[in-house]
Every structure is written in C-alpha cells, then in structure tokens.
Amino acid sequence: MGKVYIVGIGPGSPKYLTDKAKEAIKGADVVVAWDESSSYELKTIERLTEGKKLYLQNGENFVKVYEEVAQEYRGKDTNIALIITGDPCISSGIKHLTRIFKEFDIEVISGISSVQIAAALARISLEESAVISFHYHGEVELEEKMKELLELFKRGRHIIALTGEVTPNEIAEYLMSKGVDGKTQVLVCENLTLSDEKIFRGTLNQIRDKKFSPLSVSVIINPKKQ
C-alpha cells in the first residue's frame, strides 16, 4: 500500500531541507505543493520533482486539491508527498490534512520551522515563548487572537508571531494601545533564509509605520525573561 508523507521542507533555503525530507520526496510518485509567487516551495524542492505527477495549489483551491488527490489515490499503491513549508506541525493545518487523508497510512516528517530560525536570531528559548499564528484556517477571530497574544505577553512569554493575515505594525499598535511599553524590543524577520532575507531589530514604537514583507515572523521580547 502507498503512503502519504506530510513533508516539512524548512524555511526556504535548500540548506535547511533535511535528508529525510529529500528521501520522502524522491520516493514519491505524486507531489502536492503550493505554486504562488509568494511561495518558495517549488524552488526549494525543484531538483526533486522530476518525473513526478505534480499537483499545484494556491490560496483558493488548496483544500480542493488535497481532496482530489485523496479521492484519486485512495486504496492505490501510490506514495504521495504533501509539501509543507517549515515544519508541518506549526500553522499548517495538520489537523485538517490528517482528516482529509484519514484512510491513508500517514507519516509526518518534521522540518525546520521559520519559528526556530527567528528564535535563534532573537536568542530566546522556545519554552519561554508562545507561538501565535495569524493564519486562521477559518477558525478563530482576529480579536480573540490579539487578546491571547496580549495575555501570554503579560504572563511573561516572548511572542513569536506568524504574521500572515495581520501585519507586524498592527500587532505593535494593538499591544501599545493596551499599555505595553513602546520601547519593548522586537525583531521582524522577513524572507528568512532566502536571498532577500531582512532582519529588523528595534522597538514596538519603531515598527508602527514600517512596511514589511507578508512572509515574516515577528518576535516580541519579553523583558521579564531578559
């Protein structure tokens, strides 16, 4: 019987693509990956997809594509690699994926997350941090997410925010409006590990009016943990 591999490919640079991920992609008959200008998936794995049946996704059709692939290969002896940026267990809808492919034998292959790269740049411990994703998968309201972020910061956690549908500026604005000190240290990590990587180090106050790439991770340093 074929198998479904949910493969984390790291944050973009092929230097962060693990041997385990390469093996799974090389051994697959079918590869499912995002193909959008803002997405680096195909570039990261470009030499590994030759001769494979490729299913391409975008923001509009990604669920449909997964469902189509599940329908097409159910009960067949086909190995399928579902390509996921960073690590599959961070803000990548793993719950939905495992539901769609519930009739398959599934293996999740961990990848190096943008969250880990950002934590390394900020030199903070993940166990003293909270990861907040602003990719909702239609489940949680923005206001609720913001409240959760504030709560966790007040309780002494560093915040690592995947700033998908919300900008770093909006997060800064919200925190300051709730009384968080504008001098709080922040990193905004854009296009990590890619050729146009940029790291901004400053304060909440300073990022208020700056423009950042949609592909960014913000780290808000908690002074209680310094």
Instruction: Please give the residue ranges that form the binding site for ligand SAM (CB under 6 A).
Output: 11-12, 84-87, 90-92, 113-115, 135, 162-164, 189, 191-194, 215-217
Nearer to ligand SAM, 94 or 176 (CB): 94
Please spell the DSSP secondary structure of the chain, one letter per residue.
Answer: --EEEEEE-BSSSGGG--HHHHHHHHT-SEEEEE--TT--HHHHTGGG-TTSEEEEE-TTTHHHHHHHHHHHHTTSS--EEEEESB-TTSSS-HHHHHHHTTTSEEEEE----HHHHHHHHHT--GGGEEEEE---TT-S-HHHHHHHHHHHHHTT-EEEEE-SSS-HHHHHHHHHHTT--TT-EEEEEESTTSTT-EEEEEEHHHHTT----SSEEEEE--GGG-
Minimum distance of ligand SAM from residue 82's CB (angstroms): 12
Minimum distance of ligand SAM from residue 74's CB (angstroms): 26
Nearer to ligand SAM, 12 or 80 (CB): 12
Minimum distance of ligand SAM from residue 93's CB (angstroms): 8
Minimum distance of ligand SAM from residue 224's CB (angstroms): 25
Nearer to ligand SAM, 85 or 169 (CB): 85
